[in-house]
Chain A
C-alpha cells in the first residue's frame, strides 16, 4: 500500500471514530449537571472538552465505587449526574451499583470505556470478556457506541434510565480505532 493510501485510510478511520464533541453534546442535550468520573485510557480525550463546557461540573474520584454513592446523593438533591469510568472500574464497583443505585432507584447513565473490545469478537483482555456478562448478571441494560453515528444511543440510555429509574450503561467501544 502506498503511503498516500495509508494516510487516506487513517483519515477515514478517524472520521468514523467517536468524537469528544459529540459525547459532550449528548451530555448537554440531556441536561447533565455533574460528571462523576475517573480517567481511563478510552475516555481521556473527553477531559479537555468537558472542562471547557461550563454547564458541566467535574467530580473526580479515586475509586469507581465512590462514583455510585456520589451520583446517588446528587440525584437525591436534584442534580443530574453522569458517571464516566472504564469497564474495569465498573466491575470493581459492583456492590456500590447494587446498593447505591439499584436499591435506591437512581436513574443514572454510565459511560463506560470498553477496554479490550476488538469488534470482531476475539478478545484478548479479560476486562472485555467479562464486561457484558457483568451487566447481564446485574440486570443492567446497556447500549454500545462505536462512532459518531451511534452517539444518539446515549440519549436512548437517558430515556431508558428515566423510564425505569435504574442505571443504564453505554459502552464506549471505540478502542479499536486506535486513538490511544
Chain B
C-alpha cells in the first residue's frame, strides 16, 4: 500500500486550478468531468509521478464551517515542502499572496502559512540543518 493522493477542499475548482498552477507552480495531472464537478489533480513539476493533490469541491455542508474554524485560528489544512521558505515567501508575496504567518524558525523547520484563496491556509516548510 502507498499514498498516491492527498486532497484539499476548494470553493471553486477553476479558481483553485489557477492558484495551484499559476501561483504555487504545480502542474495539472488529471482533469476528468464527474457530473457537476471534476476529478482535478495537480502534481509538483519536481515529482510528476509523485503524490497527486486533488482539488476537491467543498460542497458538503460540513466542509465550509470546518474550513472557516481552522482559518480563524491560523491552522493550515496541509503542508508543502520547499527548499527555501524565505525565497518562496518573497516570490509569492510578489504575486500578491496573503500570508497569515511570515517565515518563522520553529527549531527543526522554518515555516510560513499562506492563504490559498479557496478557503484554506497552507503551510510551506523547509527542513533546517541539524545544529552541528
Q: Do A and B originate from a single complex?
A: no
Which residues of A come within 8 Å of B, CB atoms? none
